[in-house]
Amino acid sequence: MYSIVMADSSSGRGAPHQMDDATTLLARVAQARDRMALAALFGQLGPKVKSMMLKLGANDSLAEDLVQETFLSVWRKAHLYSPERGAVSTWIFTIARNLRIDQVRRQSNRPYEDLETVMLESDVPSGAVVVEQKEVIQRVTAALKSLSPEQQEVVRLNYLHDMPHAEIAETIGIPLGTVKSRLRLAYERLRPMLEDLQ
């Protein structure tokens, strides 16, 4: 029944067998503490989170542990998520990032979590979501693929391979300043899609 509720009439998607989308599943986790919804979300995004953790340099067993921890956090924090603040995948990306920083780097403080308290309080969305989050993600994904191969490479190394910029420079054999300018140019290309958010 959820697939009918969630059917997207504008694009022809939403066939009867389509899985519930992540936003619906997470809402069920938050509101009804629905374990099967969490399991379904885990089925959709868990293997992708694991793929990302493997790229970050974790071995299979650590990657699996980090995925478990990520979705345990999803369970514990589901009530703190609101769709106006970003797509579910974006939120899960930040949870996975914070866990990686906590567990792999073992930093002594938690600047990201501290910052989240500021964001929760002061950046209440206006309520006017211009474009659906799902659509934003699709547009950004398409735009990422339209970047030059050089720009895509630095963006992926930055986001998916846990590489500081100096290490990116060394890995692909370009000056540090070139890494930074490629990232700036990539962001300029993506910015119009991203600014539709608000």
Partner 1 sequence: MTINHHPDISTLMAFTAGTLEEPFATVIATHLAMSEAGRITVRHMETIGGALLEDEPDAAMSAAATDRLLAALDGASEEPALPAMAENADIPTPLRPYLPQGLEGVKWKWNGPGVATADLARGRDGRSRLMLLRVAGGRRVPEHSHGGQELTLILQGAYRDRFGVFARGDIADHDEDVEHQPIAEPGPDCICLVAVDAKLSFRGRLMQALQPLFGI
The least distance separating partner 1 from the CB of residue 194, rounded to whole angstroms, comes to 4
Q: Pick the closer one to partner 1 by CB: 24 or 91.
A: 91
Q: What is the full DSSP assignment across 21-51?
A: PHHHHHHHHHHH--HHHHHHHHHHHHHHHHH
- The residues, any chain, with a CB within 8 Å of residue 93's CB and separated by 6 or more, are none
Q: Pick the closer one to partner 1 by CB: 4 or 139.
A: 139
Q: Pick the closer one to partner 1 by CB: 17 or 106.
A: 106
The least distance separating partner 1 from the CB of residue 119, rounded to whole angstroms, comes to 6
CA 134 to chain centre: 12
The least distance separating partner 1 from the CB of residue 130, rounded to whole angstroms, comes to 14
Annotate 4-14 with b (16+ C-beta within 10 A) or e (fewer). eeeeeeeeeee
- Cα–Cα dist 88/115, whole Å: 19
The least distance separating partner 1 from the CB of residue 97, rounded to whole angstroms, comes to 4
Which tokens belong to 37?
A: 């919804």
The least distance separating partner 1 from the CB of residue 68, rounded to whole angstroms, comes to 6
Q: Quick one: CA dihedral 38, 116, 95, 22, positive or negative?
A: positive
